Amino acid sequence: MNLFLTIAFLFFIGSMAGWGIEVVFRRFFSSANPERKWINPGFLSGPYLPLYGFSLCVLFLLSLLEQYIPIENTALRKAALFAVMAAAVTLVEYIAGLISIRLLHVKLWDYSKQWGNIQGIICPKFTLGWAILSAVYYFLIHPRIENALVWLSNNLAFSFIIGFFYGVFVIDLVNATALLVKIKRFADEKQIVVKYEQLREHIRVNREKRLEKAKFLMSMGPQSAMAEQLKQYYDKFRDELERSKKDARKTDRGDEK
């Protein structure tokens, strides 16, 4: 039971903390957001990212295995642990990204412009970031988990908050899944992979042009409105593809000369 409560608690903390990290990163450091706007980084409407929740649970479980690493030097053993953690979380990220592309035909994030990327899903830059976050977790969070559980058991009001979080999270997940199914049908029809962030930006810009509130709530609204947004997104996607083909042909002719 303690393990179950620990995993539930860590998923809650990781999902919300990860959302906060992504919001700050995209606002101040991401080159994909040149206008420096505050944006929701996830495909869910609420302030949580499940990938970070799963990742924090993975870091916790791997921390328990440190004693089995056959390295006597303490610093080297911890370095090896952080490397394993980063590799494991990167694997989780890769599997999640691959599932979204293969099953839903939706690319939830895109690292294709990053050096050394694999299928635009993972790249060395963010694997290094996971290694840093692993060290932060190990030194700042892991030693305090037991005390946090004791505090949680003595403060039932906070337990209610966690329960409320999971209730809202499940409803949000169901709505988001229904929306992703609609996008998948569209992607299957057009035989493309929809880049989620581009689609979201397209919808945001359209809403700003109509003087609507600048926030993205893809899981709400009539299906006809979403169908129109997807049609406009596909037209833009097709135009960009044609331009890319023309540029490639010009490059080939230049090489022949």
Give the chain as a DSSP string: -HHHHHHHHHHHHHHHHHHHHHHHHHHHT-TT-TT------SSSSSS--HHHHHHHHHHHHHHTTGGGS---SHHHHHHHHHHHHHHHHHHHHHHHHHHHHHHH-EES---TTSTT-BTTTB-HHHHHHHHHHHHHIIIIIGGGHHHHHHHHHH-HHHHHHHHHHHHHHHHHHHHHHHHHHHHHHHHHHHT--EEHHHHHHHHHHHHHHTT--S---TTSS-HHHHHHHHHHHHHHHHHHHHHHHHHHHHHHHHHH-
Question: What pLDDT does 255 receive?
Answer: 57
Cβ atoms < 10 Å from Cβ of 240: 11
pTM of the entire structure?
Answer: 0.79
Question: What pLDDT does 215 receive?
Answer: 45
pLDDT, tens digit, 9 for 90 and up, residues 67-78: 899 999 999 999
Position 254 confidence tier, pLDDT thresholds 50, 70, 90: low
User: Which residues on neighbouring strands pair with residue 194, listed in sequence order?
Assistant: 106
How far apart, in whole angstroms, are the C-alpha atoms of residue 117 and residue 45?
Answer: 28
Position 251 confidence tier, pLDDT thresholds 50, 70, 90: low
Question: What pLDDT does 216 receive?
Answer: 46
pLDDT, tens digit, 9 for 90 and up, residues 179-231: 888 889 888 988 888 888 888 877 777 777 765 444 444 444 555 566 777 77
Q: What mean pLDDT do residues 163-172 have? A: 92
How far apart, in whole angstroms, are the C-alpha atoms of residue 194 and residue 179?
Answer: 13
48, 42, 53, 50: which is closest to 217 by C-alpha? 42
Question: Which residue would you say has higher pLDDT here, 228 or 1?
Answer: 228
pLDDT-wise least confident of 103-107, 145-149, 223-227, 233-237: 223-227
Question: What pLDDT does 82 receive?
Answer: 96
How far apart, in whole angstroms, are the C-alpha atoms of residue 246 and residue 240?
Answer: 10
How far apart, in whole angstroms, are the C-alpha atoms of residue 248 and residue 230?
Answer: 27
Question: Which residue would you say has higher pLDDT here, 38 or 64?
Answer: 64
Q: What mean pLDDT do residues 76-91 have? A: 96
How far apart, in whole angstroms, are the C-alpha atoms of residue 56 and residue 142?
Answer: 10
How far apart, in whole angstroms, are the C-alpha atoms of residue 90 and residue 130?
Answer: 7
Measured over the CA atoms of residue 96, residue 47, residue 81 and residue 112, the dihedral's sign is: positive
Whole-number mean pLDDT of the chain?
Answer: 84
